[in-house]
Amino acid sequence: METITIQQALNQINEILEKAFSGEEIFIKKSDEQIIKISSMLPPLPRPSLFGSDKDKIYIADNFDDPLEDFEEYR
């Protein structure tokens, strides 16, 4: 949520519209009173799925679950 003045809104209209389109709410104030709310009527764009995003980046060795030699005395 961002609150700006009318003058800032006029100077930054493109940025404000982009923020609203991406799901942010922007409030415009006049004399310390919020008078306008700008937000998108469309649902926010879905985020790309994170499942599998680290494929081929992480390697887990075949012996990952094998007991460690250092802990042999605790078995």
Residue 30's CATH number: 3.40.1620.10
73 lies in some domain: no
Q: How confident is the model at residue 62 (pLDDT cuts 50, 70, 90)?
A: very high
What residues make up the domain containing 29?
1-40
Q: How confident is the model at residue 8 (pLDDT cuts 50, 70, 90)?
A: very high
19 lies in some domain: yes
- Residue 34: predicted pLDDT: 86
Alpha-carbon distance 8 to 29, whole Å? 10
- Across the chain, mean pLDDT equals 87
For the chain, what is the domain count? 1
34 lies in some domain: yes
pTM, 2 dp? 0.53
Closest CA to 21 of 6, 4, 42, 2: 42
27 lies in some domain: yes
